[in-house]
Amino acid sequence: MEFWGGFRVWVLTVCLIFQSGYGFYLPGSYPLKHVVGDELSVKVNSITSIDTEMPFSYYSLPFCKPQGGVKDSAENLGEVLMGDRIENSPYLFKMYKNQTDVFLCQTDPLTDDQFKILKERIDEMYQVNLILDNLPAIRYTKKEGYPLRWTGYPVGINLKGSYYVFNHLKFKVLVHKYEETNVASIMGTGDAAGVIPTVSKQELDVPGYMVVGFEVVPCSPLHNVDLVKNLKMYEKYPNPVPCDPASVSMQIKKGQSIVFTYEVTFEESDIKWPSRWDAYLKMEGSKVHWFSILNSLMVITFLAGIVLVIFLRTVRRDLTRYEELDKEAQAQMNEELSGWKLVVGDVFRAPANPALLCIMVGDGVQLLGMGIVTILFAALGFMSPASRGTLITGMLFFYMILGVAAGYVAVRLWRTICCGDHRGWVSVSWKAACFFPGIAFLILTILNFLLWGSQSTGAIPFSLFVILLLLWFCISVPLTLVGGYFGAKAPHIEYPVRTNQIPREIPPQKYPSWLLVLGAGTLPFGTLFIELFFIMSSLWMGRVYYVFGFLFIVLVLLVVICAEVSLVLTYMHLCVEDWKWWWKSFFASGSVALYIFLYSINYLIFDLKSLSGPVSATLYLGYSLFMVLAIMFTTGTVGFLSSFWFVHYLFSSVKLD
């Protein structure tokens, strides 16, 4: 009876989880009810451009400011690191009340500096990003008959050397009737009641609406400056404002002011709250994603066949033959051994720079764990693009927590190489805590100075630098030392064979081993490069990446391929009596990072042709270098650990003196 009672509870829990998945779009968010006439305020984010990759504050341009002054919105760590600066704006709506020809402001006459910077931002194709109820403004256009979607709208346009600014915005807000019953069924009762805003019975009777869409059409009409001299903000412009997106009239000139106006219409929509992000997350190229996965599976199957041949036909056959011989025949066979069996006394000889190898493997385990957990949470919807900054914040959190794993693996591997000697474990764990973060800190600091010099909002503020250093030294480093302590206490992995005092001479090879190591990276890269295009487009072309389910599958396949590649290459080196496999197994799979960096350069030359200026190119290459270093640590660790397990298994199965 207890079993069936527990089973029913489990089934009920699963059903509730699936029910919430169907009815609720994002964990931690809920619909906001707006009664007719409620004030809706539009917020502004940093202006961005795919031509420079440097965000700037919205109010760095001569735009209208709100009456109460500019105020920053509360931002999480990830938003600040991504360069987001969300502030209030003068654009105000009233729920379900259409407004036309609303006067916003008349700027002061443009100074030389303002005119110059406005022209630069127009030439660099900067986009203005507006937000209403957490939804970015979306703009629909057509190109050769095909509909296109854009987030935000351009600052202006350059036509034959004349610069025009978009000074009138036509907003459309899509709303859906508020359905309290759906929210109740989703959220339930009990502890969740503290999360959901309480609504009285009287408020339930009042009809309300939810914002489910936010569209903008920018226009450039020429206003009559004399008509707005006595107008105040939000008063009606005397004449109807023509809004034709196909024509522009408001040319900017030095010493001339700009008049800004807007209009807004509300439209009831069938789009429900859980589906309101679908317009931004339209899945494009799903067949390409599946092709990428199918391609990876074919590579895995091919490599798995080779591994199977090594294990079943070669290794097992040799071991079976050896075990069937009597002692006298074994002694005779020992004299006639060839291939991997000849290096039995050197295969576990300590590699060059063993401490560095242990540190890199420890950091690789930390990065791999962070990647798997982050992508898994993102695939489950906890780090959706709707929750700005949560992806970066989550990555930092998981990276710091997994410092325990980095310290444990680095120190235990160190003790294994040193045959159980635990001396020096504090130094190894300390270096593991500082090695990769130190490289990342150096790269990001150099790039940050470039952003500071450009006065970009992408520059990390000094206060945040201090916070990141405190997180590093007060959380990540102590956790890594704790992991190192447990690694020092854990039993080391004992080698199955003894190591000779005199190292065996490696016979000359027909081809340099590093060439084979570098070539091995092409197979993991072949699995990754299709998905890599979507990731690069998301990072540098301003597109939303959200297919984390596909990314998780690709990551798992990449791990499998890296393990197989490194394992096969290690066996090939042992067969030619090359016992220096430690670093080669690391770089065999880690060399995929080299191909990713070359692909990044190719992407810069052919896909980011419009990237302007040496600063932008330096930022791109700097961030790409940071990314490929993390990939090298991760894939190299997978390759090394799989090879270590294979070599240990191989030589623990044979009894040679």
d(CA 353, CA 271) in angstroms, rounded, equals 60
In the block, tokens 């940093």 appear at 46
**Residue range 277-282: mean pLDDT, rounded:** 78
Side-chain half-sphere CA neighbours of 188 within 13 A: 8
d(CA 243, CA 220) in angstroms, rounded, equals 7
In sequence order, what DSSP letters do the residues of 127-185 get, joined into one string? EE-EEETTEEPEEEEEETTEEEEEESEESEEEETTEEEE--EEEEEEEEEE--HHHHHH
Instruction: For residue 104, give the H/E element and its range.
Output: strand 99-106
Whether residue 395 has pLDDT greater than 60 = yes
- The burial of 605, by beta-carbon neighbours within 10 Å (0-12 exposed, 13-18 middle, 19 or more buried), is given as exposed
Its pTM stands at: 0.84
Phi and psi torsions of 259, nearest 5°: -100, 130
Q: Is 270 helix (H, G, I), strand (E, B) or coil?
A: coil
Kindly indicate the confidence band of residue 324, based on its pLDDT and cuts at 50, 70 and 90. low
Side-chain half-sphere CA neighbours of 193 within 13 A: 5
Convert the pLDDT of each residue in 196-251 to its tens digit: 444 454 555 567 899 999 999 999 999 998 889 889 999 999 999 999 998 999 99
**Which among 536, 596, 556, 521 has a CA at the least distance from the CA of 297?**
556
Write down the domain spans for the chain. 35-180+203-280, 286-504+514-653
Round the average pLDDT of the chain to a whole number and report it: 84
**Which among 634, 561, 629 has a CA at the least distance from the CA of 597?**
629
Convert the pLDDT of each residue in 374-390 to its tens digit: 999 998 888 877 778 88
**Which among 601, 628, 600, 616 has a CA at the least distance from the CA of 450?**
616
Q: Are strands 34-35 and 208-219 parallel, antiparallel or unpaired?
A: antiparallel
Phi and psi torsions of 389, nearest 5°: 80, -10
As a whole number of Å, the end-to-end CA separation of the chain is 60
d(CA 89, CA 84) in angstroms, rounded, equals 15
Tokens, residue 562: 């890296």
CB atoms within 10 A of CB 493: 15
Question: What share of the chain has pLDDT > 90, as a percent?
Answer: 51
